[in-house]
Amino acid sequence: MATCKWIGKSGTVYEYDVLSPNANWNAVGGNYIFAKDNGPTWSAIYIGQTESFKDRLPSHDKLPCAQRNGFTHIHARANENEASRLKEEADLIANYRPPCNVQGT
């Protein structure tokens, strides 16, 4: 399985698994990124966290925005600790400022 490293505004490096949007998701908590494959690089389209990939990702409310912005993959990283997930989410959003994390999208 391919992986991708994302760097938070704090400088912390987070390693994510690169998955198809149609992957079979497990009912575990973690962070995820709707990402666009730009050849040698990735663009973050939306960054989020959830207590269950299985419950959240298949019918995500930001899918229409992600699709409009050309997302191709979901990057996921298991993390059962909610406080840690929220901190990671905020750290990555602050660095990448994804278009679908903007209010109203």
pLDDT tens-digit series, residues 42-97: 999 999 999 999 999 999 999 999 999 999 999 999 999 999 999 999 999 999 99
Model pLDDT for residues 18-30, shown as the tens digit of each residue: 999 999 999 999 9
Distance, C-alpha 83 to centroid of its chain: 16
Which class does domain 3-101 fall in? alpha beta
Which residue has 């999208």 as its token pair? 105
Report the alpha-carbon distance of residue 25 to residue 12 in Å, rounded.
26
C-alpha angle with apex 88: 50 to 104, nearest 5 degrees?
A: 65
